[in-house]
Structure 1
């Protein structure tokens, strides 16, 4: 492989690697990559031209040994193209260094922006004081006896109605004002059965509407 071809192969590998790095970079890297690609194309064109000149030189040397002037011209052109190729290679090397610098700067910026690892909290000191015993819950308050359903004398705490049956939808047989004393003979759930001592019809009142005054003997 000619020396110039080796340089072209190395440059191609370097350009491919840099192209992968610059694929997601900033605008500055994209401009640099475009410049390197243009230089690569120029170098390929010069390499092709050098190869053609070498072939022509070999043919001239083989066919016309006495064409010294033509050989000299071809050698001159070959040397000129080799100089241009060397200059292009130097530019490509400079672009590679710039790419490395940008990559290092990006890594440094990412590390600087990364938050420092959080230090673990120190272990809490062991407790030496025993935990106080749970307080004894207060005893449940007994239900007030005055709201009981046992037979006896009751007094209405609000105006209420006397129903024919122990349900709200039953017929209302009378109305009782607040503070009225009534006689309860038995309870039925939330209802109390009342009997009037004054000839009023019996019925049921809601337990919540009365309070016990005295129990029956």
Structure 2
């Protein structure tokens, strides 16, 4: 992902740092500069440029700029499907992002379709053994669990939360924040079901 001088890579890393600190305006500027550099050096359809497009989509989503996020996700998804194929993990990460966008808009059927596509793709690309070591796949399981819980599909929600819990336990350990949150979600579902 590095061009001759590595400036775009540095801008990308700075953008990620700002995004992690919730300095979204600064992150947006860094990702835009990195994208311009990648497009100039490598072309707009290069996977590095498309990764920047996806990153911009995430920032726009976090800023509540849902129309801009959708445009970025559409561009990234179309480009990644063409460059990497529909089942590449980078493509699937964008598919998951689309699911989050649809979920935030209350488009639950579309959100479920995206989350299911991402999860099935991760399972095919990584295999069932390795999926528990791939954080984006585990996040997709959590997203599906949240979606199912919001729809009152408590058994399906519990299944997704349990699978994600097992994966995060393998990846990060039982005391991780992710495992603790999932244990809370599972207990909440159990109390709703009278268990």
TM-score by length of 1: 0.19
**Larger strand proportion of the pair:** 1
Q: Larger RCO: Structure 1 or Structure 2 (Cα < 8 Å, ≥ 6 residues apart)?
A: 1
Q: Which has the larger radius of gyration?
A: 1
**Larger helix proportion of the pair:** 2
